[in-house]
Amino acid sequence: MTLNKILQKLEKLKITGISDDTRYLQTGELFVARRGQKDSGLNHVREAVALGAKAILAEAEMDAEVPVIVADVEKVFPELLFRFYDFPQNELRLIGVTGTDGKTTTASIIEHLLNQNYNACYIGTNGIRHGGQREKTKYTTLPLCLLVKKMRLLADKNIRHVVMEVSSQGLINKRLDGIDFEVAVFTNLSHEHLDSHGTMENYLEAKKLLFSKIERGGIGVVNSDSPYSRHFQVKKLFTYGIKEKADFKVLNIRESSKYTSFDILTPEGLWEDVRINLFGTFNVYNAVAAIITALHFKIPKQTIYSALKAIPKIDGRMEVITRDEPFTVYVDFAHTPNALKEILAWLKTKHERIVLVLGSAGGKDRSKRPLIGAIATEFADRVIFTSEDPRFEKPEDIVSDLLRDVKKSNYKVILDRKEAIRYAIHNATPGEAILIAGKGNDDYYEENGIIHPYSDAEVAEVALAERKKEIK
């Protein structure tokens, strides 16, 4: 069936939406039975009908309790979405942020700066956020079907600026087919996702796909300190950096108890004493990428200056859990060798001693585990290796991978993550920093196909309360 006829059929059936996944299917919608990498929508047709699907789009006729529309599903799918939802992307100004580390923080700062003059939306690892509303999602980059549906809702609410985290998996899995961006930001590239990409070269090519989606008149924003920066070439490009030559060159970084301050040499002159209420050189990079993006959208310089001093808390990103204790507990999402190294290096400048609690996720890139283990024991004074979403792997096998290249003996293995966190907190000493790394603000723990409610921050808070009772 042709696309026009499909749309006519949907109008006749009074279809209210389109979904290709029963997990977000709503009553009255069309269920598209697509073939995925691990599963097929054909296996979920009965479930879709039970959930209220009003019709099925499939490759061939089948027995179903609702009308079945037959078409070349993959051929018509993107255009079907765009036409059904009336091309919502054309009503939005889209910013995409890609890179191994820093996507969430950079995108969150961009959202915050844009919100000074507009009503902006953030979509990424920390969910969907706009106008004081928050919605959780398990995706960094939403699947195309869900994304277009959300874009229509945003456009109908008169939201015109959307900043999105763009993952390499999202790009290669065609979650952004037909979507173009006004601004594309590249933060950095380091060892990660080689289970999916095979090589760093392939990983780089996946990241570059975002820059091929820059629309006419759009800009690219690239971290010039990344050795991969030269591979990102677009017509209108702005670079930023601390070490290498850049359009926005950071100078004179210093820290106080409240702010990180720095100067920026820009194409329009020197910005002096820029202050952000975040710490670490990695956050300076994130902030400058956000500044360039905000300037593109005509946010005034003084507005940027003021807003950067009041960046809202970014959940799971160097989140401080302690209040009045003589030591500090941080929860952070760092799960790559580079991110872990950057954070530990910063912590060493601020604390007398670092205790690190971490594991490595099961079913993910195994090749990074020895690097993580070696960095952990090199930069932290004490490491507690534990479990982190082992999925279908044995936790002890994951820890064995982490320990493969470890040369020191400054570690302990406690496979139960809750017990590992309790141990670190109950044995904390004054001046110490405890970093609980890997999960950030994740609200689950996955093992053997079962997803359990879980939060590093909540476990830490319980352990802190227990410690206080013991001291009293």
Give the pLDDT confidence score for residue 63 in this predicted structure: 86
Q: 């499909």: which residue's tokens?
A: 6
Domain count, the chain: 3
Q: Among positive and negative, which fits the CA dihedral 390, 393, 396, 398?
A: negative
Least confident of 47-51, 184-188, 199-203: 199-203
**Residues 367 and 263 grouped into a single domain:** no
Give the pLDDT confidence score for residue 360 in this predicted structure: 97
**Residues 52 and 103 grouped into a single domain:** no
| Chain segment 379-421, per-residue pLDDT in tens | 999 999 999 999 999 999 999 999 999 999 999 999 999 999 9
**Residues 294 and 440 grouped into a single domain:** no
Give me the phi and psi of 214, to 5 degrees please: -70, 125
Tokens, residue 53: 């699907």
CATH number where 141 lies:
3.40.1190.10
**Residues 95 and 58 grouped into a single domain:** no
Domain end (from 84, 103, 122): 84
Average pLDDT over every residue of 435-445: 95
Q: Among positive and negative, which fits the CA dihedral 303, 265, 278, 228?
A: positive
Distance CA 76, CA 39 (A): 20
Domain end (from 308, 337, 367): 308
**Residues 300 and 405 grouped into a single domain:** no
| pLDDT band, residue 438 (cuts 50/70/90) | very high
Q: Is residue 313 part of a domain?
A: no
| pLDDT band, residue 193 (cuts 50/70/90) | confident
Least confident of 197-206, 278-287, 368-377, 412-421: 197-206
| Average pLDDT value over all residues in the chain | 95
Distance CA 292, CA 317 (A): 22
**Residues 116 and 234 grouped into a single domain:** yes
**Residues 48 and 185 grouped into a single domain:** no
**Residues 439 and 423 grouped into a single domain:** yes
Which range of residues forms the domain containing residue 377?
319-471
Q: Is residue 314 part of a domain?
A: no
**Residues 127 and 249 grouped into a single domain:** yes
**Residues 293 and 343 grouped into a single domain:** no
| Chain segment 312-355, per-residue pLDDT in tens | 999 999 999 999 999 999 999 999 999 999 999 999 999 999 99
Least confident of 29-43, 241-255, 264-278: 29-43
Residue type for 314, please? I
Tokens, residue 119: 């009503």
**Residues 184 and 110 grouped into a single domain:** yes
Average pLDDT over every residue of 191-200: 79
Residue 470 pLDDT > 80:
yes
Distances (CA, A) of 290 to 76, 90, 347: 36, 23, 24
246 Cβ contact partners less than 8 Å away, ≥ 6 residues apart: 224, 225, 239, 240
| Chain segment 82-93, per-residue pLDDT in tens | 999 999 999 999
